[in-house]
Homo-oligomer: A and B are copies of this chain.
């Protein structure tokens, strides 16, 4: 059972290898072929048990129908809640487009290994922070890339599909204001990522607009204590708003401290999370908004595909998806 090549078929059918290629390729170029030749080739191929070599066809054709996925943080291990739905969307859309996926593994995170992404026709990037220099190189080389999540680096030149955290966060504050809240505390992650800034921007703007007095504190959760929360409440704070991020650490800490301190939600204080509360939290459904992660994945693949195969017009290089509000049960009416 040696490998059967087009050349073998050609010999048997008494035609050239190129003709075999044309026949087996379904004659996409519309070459004129005699039916007799066609059948002879087909029959020989069948008889010899021909199987096209995908590697060769790929080399000869252009593009490889491969889309890369590069995660700065290991894709699977821990932060499943956040990445899983995105990857599910990526896979679904890639499948729909007939593309396969190359997942660049965590070890490829070495600075120079990012270049390996070029082995695909284009690449999706994903993570809270982005290796700016490497991305700049790729961009400069005209390599199609799309970041999942809004990026402001490089003067906003990084194509991306993100969530509209500004509007969604603003809406949460507006909701609180409508429920009568006048003083709120916003807890955000200490590090700087566009997704954090966007939320803060939305929160501040809406607070100003609605006349809500709002203090922002940066925390990784570890410094939260029953005392600090009690202090806020004594100051007249009636609502806590917490950023949701990859690890969910800040929300988890907040929730734990509230429980431990015996502060009832939303009895003693209202609570909202800017995003979706981590799964596995027992208790009321936390008010906030939904991040359309699956759709984020799908949209990113579509954008990347259109970048890879420029066809119908120029796609918008920056897209923000709406985050639907989640009413939840943790915003009480006050006043």
In the complex, A64 has a CB within 8 A of chain B: yes
* Closest B residue to A85 using CB positions: B76
In the complex, A11 has a CB within 8 A of chain B: no
* Closest B residue to A71 using CB positions: B91
Which residues of B lie under 8 Å from residue A107 when comparing CB positions? 94-98
Interface residues of A in 29-80 (CB under 8 A from B): 46, 49-56, 58-59, 64, 66, 74-77, 80
In the complex, what distance in Å separates the CA atom of A80 from the CA atom of B125?
A: 22
Interface residues of A in 81-128 (CB under 8 A from B): 84, 87-88, 91-92, 94-108, 112, 115-116, 118-119
Which residues of B lie under 8 Å from residue A140 when comparing CB positions? 1
In the complex, what distance in Å separates the CA atom of A105 from the CA atom of B89?
A: 12
Which residues of B lie under 8 Å from residue A115 when comparing CB positions? 49-52, 54
Contact yes or no, A91 B76, CB < 8 A = yes
Contact yes or no, B66 A102, CB < 8 A = yes
Which residues of B lie under 8 Å from residue A55 when comparing CB positions? 55, 58-59, 64, 118-119
In the complex, A28 has a CB within 8 A of chain B: no
* Closest B residue to A2 using CB positions: B142
In the complex, A141 has a CB within 8 A of chain B: yes
**What is the interface size of chain A, counting residues whose CB is below 8 A from a CB of the partner?**
50
Which residues of B lie under 8 Å from residue A112 when comparing CB positions? 46
* Closest B residue to A104 using CB positions: B100
Interface residues of A in 224-272 (CB under 8 A from B): none
Contact yes or no, B52 A74, CB < 8 A = no
In the complex, A137 has a CB within 8 A of chain B: yes
* A105-B100, A105-B101, A108-B100 known; A141 vs B3 contact (CB < 8 Å): yes
In the complex, what distance in Å separates the CA atom of A140 from the CA atom of B1?
A: 7
In the complex, what distance in Å separates the CA atom of A290 from the CA atom of B92?
A: 29
Q: Closest Cβ of chain B: how far from A52's Cβ, in Å? A: 7
Contact yes or no, B105 A102, CB < 8 A = no
Which residues of B lie under 8 Å from residue A80 when comparing CB positions? 84, 88
Contact yes or no, B66 A76, CB < 8 A = no
* A59-B59, A88-B77, A91-B74 known; A116 vs B102 contact (CB < 8 Å): no
Contact yes or no, B105 A53, CB < 8 A = no
Which residues of B lie under 8 Å from residue A101 when comparing CB positions? 102-103, 105
In the complex, what distance in Å separates the CA atom of A115 from the CA atom of B56?
A: 12
8 additional A-B residue pairs with CB within 8 Å, beyond A51-B119, A92-B106: A3-B118, A49-B115, A55-B59, A58-B119, A74-B91, A84-B84, A91-B106, A94-B107
Q: Which 6 A-B pairs have the closest CB atoms?
A: A76-B88, A95-B105, A1-B142, A95-B107, A95-B106, A101-B103
**11 intermolecular pairs with C-beta atoms under 8 Å apart:** A51-B118, A51-B119, A51-B141, A55-B55, A74-B95, A76-B87, A92-B106, A95-B105, A95-B106, A96-B107, A99-B105
